[in-house]
Structures are given as C-alpha cells and as structure tokens.
Structure 1
Amino acid sequence: MLTASRPRAANKRATNVSLPEDLLAEAKALQINVSQAAEAGVAQAITRARSELWLAENQEAIESSNAYAEKYGLPLAKYRLF
C-alpha cells in the first residue's frame, strides 16, 4: 500500500500530463520541479480519496458509535480529568 508519508520506490514510470501553459511557465520561472510537484499532488489526492472511502465504508459504525455516546454518554467519562 502506497501512502503519502511512505517513501517512494526508486522505480518510476514516465507519463504524460497536460498543464495550462501559463501554469507551466510560472512553475519553470520559480524553478519548481514539475514532476516532484505532480507526484506530491497525486500522493495528496490518493490520501484524500482513501480517507473519504474509509469514512464512507465506516459511516454506519461511526453513526452507531455517536448515537450510543449521545444516549449513554462516554463509557469512561467518570474517569476524565478535564
């Protein structure tokens, strides 16, 4: 499983990416490595999509847990120091 925080493998694969000309020109003027920036952006998108998928898959359990806490309170609330 590849995550945004996990180091990337050395093997890379070339791909074509289409970018607006003005965006590419500004990136080059600012000496931004477009490949690295694209890789970071894709890694962030993967992390976000996995998070959204996890939330969707676990929505029922989350709602059930929240309903329990609303009805009965937190199970260990009497031990909280705050």
Structure 2
Amino acid sequence: MEHKDMSKTDLLALVRTKLANERTFLAYFRTFIVFLSSGFAILKLEILQSLKGLGYFFIIISFIVVVIGLLRFFYVKKRINSYYD
C-alpha cells in the first residue's frame, strides 16, 4: 500500500504511530541521562564515597538502557515501514 493510496485516516494513524515510537525512544533517552548523571554525581561527591559501587552501577545501566532504546526504536521503525510499504 503506497502512501498516496492511503486514506487520510490511515495516513494520520501512521504518523501517530511514528511519533509514538519517537516519544518512546525519548523516554529511554531521558532515563539514560538520569542514570548517567546520577552515577557521575555519586562518584564526584565526596560525601557519597561509600556508594561508589552504586555510581558505577548507574553508569553501566545507563548505557544498557540507551542501547535497548535504540534497538527498540529501529526495530519498531522497520516494522512500521514494512507494514505500510
């Protein structure tokens, strides 16, 4: 089904689905930023030196979260495009 053959309702549904996918990726990215900044804050503050392991854990988890978000984003984008193309 080509985009020019789609009804306006179907085309708007496609756009909404793509925007929802982008919003979901941005939620993953926000979570990445929070974990990363929390990890660095724990490592830099002298008062929290007893929680150093937690800081490293947050930094590692942040990169796992962003990789999952990227993989999910591209997977869903590919599925959306294959469904409507």
TM-score bracket relative to the smaller structure:
0.3 to 0.5
Instruction: Name the structure where helix makes up a greater proportion of residues.
Output: 2
TM-score by length of 2: 0.36
Larger Rg: 1
Higher RCO, Cα 8 Å, sep 6+: 2
